[in-house]
Amino acid sequence: MSPTARPAREAHVDLSAISGNVEVLRRIIRTEHTMAVVKARGYGHGAVPSARAALDGGADWLGVADLDEAFELRAAGITAPVLAWLHDADADFAGAVDAGIDLGVSSLAQLERAAAASGPAIAMVQLKIDTGLGRNGVTLDECAAFVAEAARLEGLGRLRVRGIFSHLANAGEADDAAQRSAFDRALALAAVAGLTPELRHLAATGGAIDRPDARFDLVRLGIGIYGVSPSDDRTPAEWGLRPALELSAAIAGVKRVPAGTGVSYGHTYRTTEATTLALVPLGYADGIPRHASGRGPVLVGGRVVPVAGRIAMDQFVVDVGDTPVSVGDRAVLIGDPADGAPSAQDWADASDTIAYEIVTRLGGRIRYTHSGAR
């Protein structure tokens, strides 16, 4: 195979879709600031190219979980504002301050460590409040002491509180509304303490679209910028979003078999008539969920057919009937439904999970290619 040939297992990312999705979401949401979330390898789309594409589409902040992800963006020469919000006890806060990375701080201990990390550059922090997700952040009970200490450190010139933020549980209208009220109380406590954070933010993609009252100064948009819906009851196309990723593989083998042929481990699939089986060289080691055995949809020879039998570590089989299919033809697992391809959501439905998990777990031997950078 020549080096320029298409990879046998390819996740192709159309970066113009990411830029375009940011533009579409910004028109819907209209906050002053837009953070593109590029954690977890840009949701399995490539962190650095996705970040650049999102900035080209009008995002003015980047969000990641941990500092290693933030340092990777800086190492690639990306100078846009970056916020990282999930830190272990040894995380390199001094390196973050040097690199101009904002620290999301979730405890008094992290606040003190941020202040101690200030050198020639002063630590920029954003205070994380747990308004009801029950995950990271200080609770409302701890909030008064937390913002008082933040204000004291800011008064001493040891850090600057640039933002205050929280994250919704998407647990339903009433719970989200309760979180919004709790966030208002945290903002009031911060104001009483004398803090003037310019970035107040609460919503990720779902909340940003559905809850105008959760938008504040900035929204943190992850899944939506990749053209994947945050929920299984809405399609990205409803908002004008386009999936950026196409996962395909070159068919590695084709054979004609008689009725009654058992397929793959355990023979959970058996042919009912003479038919053609095509072998797709992707398996659970590449992030294809084994739970989608017998169900995951594949576009091959112009038709969508389910995986036949078990998905194995490296490969699975599709029964294409009498459709003419040849070795080297592309089997598309994930793409744009507008082109007849299955979606990440379809694979999520086939394996009882969410589309986030489908795209972020892709890996193994899949080669990533990117096009459409502006």
Judged by the rule CB under 6 A, the positions of this chain that interact with ligand PLP are 37, 39, 85, 167, 204-206, 220-224, 230
Most distant CA pair in the chain: distance in Å? Answer: 80
**Helices marked H in the chain — which ranges?**
15-29, 39-44, 47-56, 67-75, 93-98, 108-117, 140-155, 173-193, 205-210, 344-350, 355-361
* Closest approach of ligand PLP to the CB of residue 272, in Å: 42
Query: Length of the chain in residues, anyone?
Result: 374
* Closest approach of ligand PLP to the CB of residue 166, in Å: 8
- Report the side by side order of strands in the sheet with 9-14: 253-257, 275-280, 316-321, 303-308, 297-300, 330-334, 245-250, 9-14, 367-371
Rg (CA), the chain: 23
Output 127 or 320, the one with its CB closest to ligand PLP: 127
Indicate if 43 belongs to the active site: no
* Closest approach of ligand PLP to the CB of residue 31, in Å: 13
Report long-range pairs for 234-242 (Cβ below 8 Å, ≥24 apart): 235/337, 235/343, 235/345, 236/343, 237/337, 237/338, 239/24, 239/25, 239/28, 239/209, 240/24, 241/21, 241/24, 241/25, 242/14, 242/17, 242/20, 242/21, 242/336, 242/338
Q: Can you read off the two tokens belonging to residue 172?
A: 């339903």
* DSSP code at position 366: P
Q: Which of 39, 128, 284, 356 is catalytic?
A: 39
Output 205 or 293, the one with its CB closest to ligand PLP: 205
* Closest approach of ligand PLP to the CB of residue 85, in Å: 6
Output 57 or 222, the one with its CB closest to ligand PLP: 222
Output 183 or 269, the one with its CB closest to ligand PLP: 183
Pick left, alpha or beta for residue 59 (phi over 0 → left; psi -120 to 50 → alpha; otherwise beta). Answer: beta
Output 221 or 300, the one with its CB closest to ligand PLP: 221
What single-letter amino acid sits at 170? N
* Closest approach of ligand PLP to the CB of residue 334, in Å: 17
**Are the C-beta atoms of residues 22 and 219 closer than 8 Å to each other?**
no
Q: Which of 43, 226, 255, 265 is catalytic?
A: 265
Using DSSP's 3-state secondary structure scheme, residue 124 falls into strand
* Closest approach of ligand PLP to the CB of residue 351, in Å: 19
Output 189 or 208, the one with its CB closest to ligand PLP: 208
Indicate if 39 belongs to the active site: yes
**Catalytic residue annotation:** 39, 265
